[in-house]
Structure 1
Amino acid sequence: MFDLAPVSLWLEDYSALRLLFERWRDLGVTDLRRHLTEDRTRIEECSAVLRVIKVNQRTLSLFDARDLAHLVDNLSLVFRDDMLGSHLEELVRLWDGNTDFFSNTVNYTLAGRRLDIQLSGSILPGYEANWSRVLIAIEDVTDREVARAKLAVSEAYARGLFEHSPVSLWAEDFRGVKRLLDEARRQGIQDFPVFTDVHPVFVQQCLSEVHVLDVNRQTLDLFAAPDKATLLRRLGDVFRANMLNHFREQLIDLWNGKLFQQREVVNYTLDGGELHLLMQFSVLPGHESDWGLVQVALTDITARKRAEAYLEFLGKHDVLTKLYNRSFYNDEINRIERKNIYPVTVMIADLNGLKAANDSLGHAAGDSLLSRMGEVLQKAVDRQSYAARIGGDEFAILMPGADERDGAAMIDTIDRMIEINNQFHSESILSFSMGVATSRPGERLEALLKRADEEMYKAKRAFQALQASDEAAL
Structure 2
Amino acid sequence: MDKETAEHHFETSKFKEVVMQSKDIIYYCLVKPKPQVLFVNAALEQYFGPGSVKQCYEQPEYFYRRLHPDFRDIIQKKWSGDFDYDKPIIQCWLDENGRERWFEELATPVYENGELIAMHGILRNIDEWIQLQKDLEYRISHDALTGAFSRNFFERMMKRYDDEVDVPMAIILCDLDELKTVNDHFGHREGDRLIKEAAKILMNFQSEKVLVSRIGGDEFAILVIEMELSEVKKLVEKMDEAINGYNNRDWPMKMSYGYAFSRSSKGNMERLFEEADRNMYDNKFGKKG
- Please give the TM-score of this superposition, normalised by the length of structure 2: 0.75
Identify the residue that residue 74 of structure 2 maps to in structure 1. Answer: 246
Return the alpha-carbon distance in structure 2 between the equivalents of residues 349 and 249 of structure 1: 49
Return the alpha-carbon distance in structure 1 between the equivalents of residues 151 and 8 of structure 2: 66
Does residue 310 (structure 1) correspond to residue 167 (structure 2)? The answer is no
Given the alignment, which residue of 422, 430, 433 partners 2:256?
A: 433
Identify the residue that residue 103 of structure 2 maps to in structure 1. Answer: 277
- How far the C-alpha of 1:409 sits from its partner, in A, is 1.6
Range with bigger deviation, 317-326 or 151-160: 317-326
Return the alpha-carbon distance in structure 1 between the equivalents of residues 108 and 191 of structure 2: 57
Return the alpha-carbon distance in structure 1 between the equivalents of residues 166 and 5 of structure 2: 77
Does residue 175 (structure 1) correspond to residue 1 (structure 2)? The answer is no
- How far the C-alpha of 1:389 sits from its partner, in A, is 1.6
Identify the residue that residue 235 of structure 1 maps to in structure 2. Answer: 63
Q: Which has the larger radius of gyration?
A: 1
Identify the residue that residue 369 of structure 1 maps to in structure 2. Answer: 194
Return the alpha-carbon distance in structure 2 between the equivalents of residues 410 and 246 of structure 1: 42
8 Å Cα contact 2:103-2:127 kept in structure 1: yes
- How far the C-alpha of 1:280 sits from its partner, in A, is 1.0
Greater RCO, 1 or 2 (C-alpha within 8 Å, sep 6+): 2
Secondary structure in 1 matching 2:69: coil
Alpha-carbon RMSD across the aligned residues, in angstroms, is 4.0
8 Å Cα contact 1:168-1:222 kept in structure 2: no
8 Å Cα contact 1:321-1:370 kept in structure 2: yes
- Residues 447, 241 of structure 1: CA spacing in aligned structure 2 closer, same or farther, 3 A cutoff? closer
Given the alignment, which residue of 113, 117, 123 partners 1:291?
A: 117
8 Å Cα contact 1:167-1:297 kept in structure 2: yes
Does residue 300 (structure 1) correspond to residue 128 (structure 2)? The answer is no
- Residues 371, 173 of structure 1: CA spacing in aligned structure 2 closer, same or farther, 3 A cutoff? farther
- Residues 382, 228 of structure 1: CA spacing in aligned structure 2 closer, same or farther, 3 A cutoff? closer
Return the alpha-carbon distance in structure 1 between the equivalents of residues 155 and 284 of structure 2: 24
Given the alignment, which residue of 37, 40, 44 partners 1:215?
A: 40
- How far the C-alpha of 1:278 sits from its partner, in A, is 0.9
Return the alpha-carbon distance in structure 1 between the equivalents of residues 154 and 258 of structure 2: 17
Return the alpha-carbon distance in structure 2 between the equivalents of residues 217 and 414 of structure 1: 55
- How far the C-alpha of 1:457 sits from its partner, in A, is 3.0
- Residues 374, 237 of structure 1: CA spacing in aligned structure 2 closer, same or farther, 3 A cutoff? farther
Return the alpha-carbon distance in structure 1 between the equivalents of residues 236 and 143 of structure 2: 22
Does residue 392 (structure 1) correspond to residue 220 (structure 2)? The answer is no
Instruction: Tell me which amino acid in the other structure corresponds to 1:167.
Output: D
Provide the aligned length of Structure 1 versus Structure 2.
Answer: 284
Return the alpha-carbon distance in structure 1 between the equivalents of residues 27 and 167 of structure 2: 54
Identify the residue that residue 452 of structure 1 maps to in structure 2. Answer: 276
8 Å Cα contact 2:27-2:39 kept in structure 1: yes
Secondary structure in 1 matching 2:88: strand
Return the alpha-carbon distance in structure 1 between the equivalents of residues 225 and 63 of structure 2: 44
Instruction: Tell me which amino acid in the other structure corresponds to 1:265.
Output: Q
What is the CA deviation profile of residues 72-117 of structure 1, one whole-angstrom value per residue up to 9, with x for unaligned ones?
Answer: xxxxxxxxxxxxxxxxxxxxxxxxxxxxxxxxxxxxxxxxxxxxxx
Return the alpha-carbon distance in structure 1 between the equivalents of residues 249 and 37 of structure 2: 60
Identify the residue that residue 29 of structure 1 maps to in structure 2. Answer: none
- How far the C-alpha of 1:260 sits from its partner, in A, is 6.1
- Residues 251, 444 of structure 1: CA spacing in aligned structure 2 closer, same or farther, 3 A cutoff? closer
Return the alpha-carbon distance in structure 1 between the equivalents of residues 76 and 261 of structure 2: 46
Secondary structure in 2 matching 1:280: strand
Secondary structure in 2 matching 1:392: coil
Range with bigger deviation, 396-405 or 267-276: 396-405
Return the alpha-carbon distance in structure 2 between the equivalents of residues 225 and 426 of structure 1: 57
Instruction: Tell me which amino acid in the other structure corresponds to 1:279.
Output: E
- How far the C-alpha of 1:357 sits from its partner, in A, is 4.8
Instruction: Tell me which amino acid in the other structure corresponds to 1:244.
Output: R
1:35-434 matches, within 5 Å, as 142-143=1-2, 149-177=6-34, 209=35, 211-225=36-50, 228-229=53-54, 235-236=63-64, 238-252=66-80, 254-255=81-82, 262-283=88-109, 291-292=117-118, 294-338=119-163, 344-352=169-177, 354-359=179-184, 362-399=187-224, 402-415=227-240, 417-418=242-243, 422=246, 430-434=253-257
Range with bigger deviation, 231-240 or 320-329: 231-240
Runs of 5+ consecutive residues of structure 1 not aligned to the other structure: 1-141, 178-208, 466-474
Return the alpha-carbon distance in structure 2 between the equivalents of residues 288 and 428 of structure 1: 78
- Residues 171, 369 of structure 1: CA spacing in aligned structure 2 closer, same or farther, 3 A cutoff? farther
- How far the C-alpha of 1:397 sits from its partner, in A, is 1.8
- How far the C-alpha of 1:324 sits from its partner, in A, is 3.3
Secondary structure in 1 matching 2:170: strand
Runs of 5+ consecutive residues of structure 2 not aligned to the other structure: none
8 Å Cα contact 1:225-1:231 kept in structure 2: no
- How far the C-alpha of 1:226 sits from its partner, in A, is 6.5
Secondary structure in 2 matching 1:291: strand
- How far the C-alpha of 1:279 sits from its partner, in A, is 1.0
Return the alpha-carbon distance in structure 2 between the equivalents of residues 352 and 242 of structure 1: 46
Instruction: Tell me which amino acid in the other structure corresponds to 1:437.
Output: A
- How far the C-alpha of 1:393 sits from its partner, in A, is 0.3
- How far the C-alpha of 1:298 sits from its partner, in A, is 0.8
